[in-house]
Amino acid sequence: MAGDSVGFRAPRGTTDVLPPESSLRDALVRSALDSFGRAGYEPVETPAFEHTELFQRGVGEASEVVSKQMYTWADGGGRSLTLRPEGTAPVVRAVLEHGLERGPLPVKLSYAESMWRRERPQKGRYRQFFQVGIEAIGSGRPELDAEVIEIGTRFLAAAGVAPGLSLNSIGHDSESCRRGYLALLKKFLEEIAGSLAPDDRARVATNPLRTFDSKEPQTSAALAAAPLITDHLCDDCRAHFVSVQRLLTDLSVDFTLEPRLVRGLDYYTRTAFEWFAGGLGSQNAVGGGGRYDGLSEALGGPSLPGIGFALGLDRIIMARAEPAEEPPGRVAVYLVALGDDARREALMLATALRVAGVGADLDFAARSMKGQMKDAARSGARWAVILGSEELRAREATVRDLRSGEQQRVPFAELTARLAA
């Protein structure tokens, strides 16, 4: 097996992204940030690690991400640090720390970053994974929910994934809304506790909503008669949800109402959504998001409603309908050089081409002419520029069009201008 002689392997649950997939990922990330940018979302970068408390307070200690999946270590001086398991709490922390909420609202930000969660690795589930996402902070308007969901749906379609969109509202934290509902749900769950899968019984007390996330058929069956949040929303949350649905319909975004959709992170309020794609097995969510109207306050900030989503890039690539088209080669010209003098000339010509904006590469293994022509074809270049002793004497290169096979002589001095055209 390749690599058997190598002593080191990447840690479990991590992946190396190698060419050509690395270029494809790069192109996808850029097109995501471009399309988010066209709606006013500007990139933000936050540190790979944060104070552990940010996630405990922001995401919630009862959530699985915080209670089981964080990479946390003591950094001396009594500080506990954690590798970012999700992007929203850090972005809201950065907004508050830098007072961005004092500018025009909503603050619209995008990110493309790795996240870390200690989950059991399987197809589509890694311990380091990559998300692209947006956050819109400082407006509770339903138009913003519709904008955010439309942007994610359109990007996924452009990326070649045609996912289903599940939509729900989980209300807000008050007696007349979610708290009242949770009391009903808890009562129901306690009554049927005997029929739940053993692992899910423990959630009844700590995080009853999450029993809906169970993959245990026994639990799903027992929950068939459970009260649903959408039947217990307060008037404001219900009106908000109706507006979001109407706006999405106006925007031609298809969705399915899914009253059992709850999100894994505790900060969500009102709108919650997830995109699911076929062909991914059990890890079929390509992205998700929702409103987090209470998050800023949970972090000690002012009332600042917000909404966002995160898309899993690893799964988007797996879910693409067409096998990924090879990204166009970055190298347009491959210089084929025979002999030391020609190699020196090739290096100079390659540099001049790169300076002029033309991708160029050359042989560094002193291969035969035939070997270098093979490398030229493999590089994806359009042109092979051949430099032999005769060409050097005449200070002209033989330029071969690798598509048509046609070739012609071009003086060195004109090469850059001709190939840049």
Does 264 interact with ligand AMP (rule: CB under 6 A)?
Answer: yes
Q: Confirm if 263 and 65 have CB atoms less than 8 A apart.
A: no
- Integer Cα distance of 24 and 306 in angstroms: 31
Contacts of 48 (CB under 8 A, 6+ apart): 83, 84, 113, 114
CA dihedral (187, 189, 190, 192) positive or negative: positive
**Shortest Cβ 286–ligand AMP spacing (Å):** 5
Nearer CB in complex with ligand AMP: 95/317: 317
Which residue number, 14 or 398, has a Cβ lying nearer to ligand AMP? 14
Say whether residue 213 binds ligand AMP (CB under 6 A): no
Applying CB under 6 A, which part among 70-78, 138-146, 311-319, 356-364 lies near ligand AMP?
311-319
- Quote the strand ranges of 277-387, DSSP E: 285-291, 306-312, 333-337, 360-362, 383-387
Among all residues, whose Cβ is closest to ligand AMP?
Answer: 312
Interface with ligand AMP, residue 155, by CB under 6 A: no
Q: Would you give the DSSP letter of residue 210?
A: G
328 by DSSP, 3-state: which? Answer: coil
Is residue 312 a contact residue for ligand AMP (CB under 6 A)?
A: yes
Nearest to 266 by CA among 220, 207, 179: 207
Beta bridge partners of 296: none
Contact status: 314 vs ligand AMP (CB under 6 A): yes
Total of residues contacting ligand AMP (CB under 6 A): 17
Cβ neighbours around 270 below 10 Å, total: 26
**DSSP category for residue 278:** T
Contact call for residue 126 and ligand AMP (CB under 6 A):
yes
Our CB check for ligand AMP shows the closer of 288 and 306 to be 288
**Ranges within 54-93 binding ligand AMP (CB under 6 A):** 86
> Hey, which residues does 102 pair with through a beta bridge?
none
Reference 385, options 341, 349, 358, 340; nearest CA is: 349
* Sole binder of ligand AMP in the list 131, 219, 269, 379 (CB under 6 A): 131
Q: Identify which of residues 222 and 261 has a Cβ nearer to ligand AMP in the complex.
A: 261
Cβ-based nearer residue to ligand AMP, 130 or 241: 130
Interface residues for ligand AMP in 266-285 (CB under 6 A)? 285
Closest distance to ligand AMP from the beta carbon of 59 (Å): 10
Question: Interacting stretch for ligand AMP, rule CB under 6 A, among 189-197, 212-220, 309-317, 391-399?
Answer: 309-317
Residue 215: closest CA among 204, 231, 199, 227: 199
| Rounded-to-integer distance, Cα 15 and Cα 18, Å | 9
Q: Which is nearer to ligand AMP, 286 or 299 (CB)?
A: 286
Tokens 């007072």 locate to: 99
Residue 382 contacts ligand AMP per CB under 6 A: no
CB 87, min distance to ligand AMP, A: 8
Binding site for ligand AMP (CB under 6 A): 86, 117, 119, 124-126, 129, 131, 264, 285-288, 310, 312, 314-315
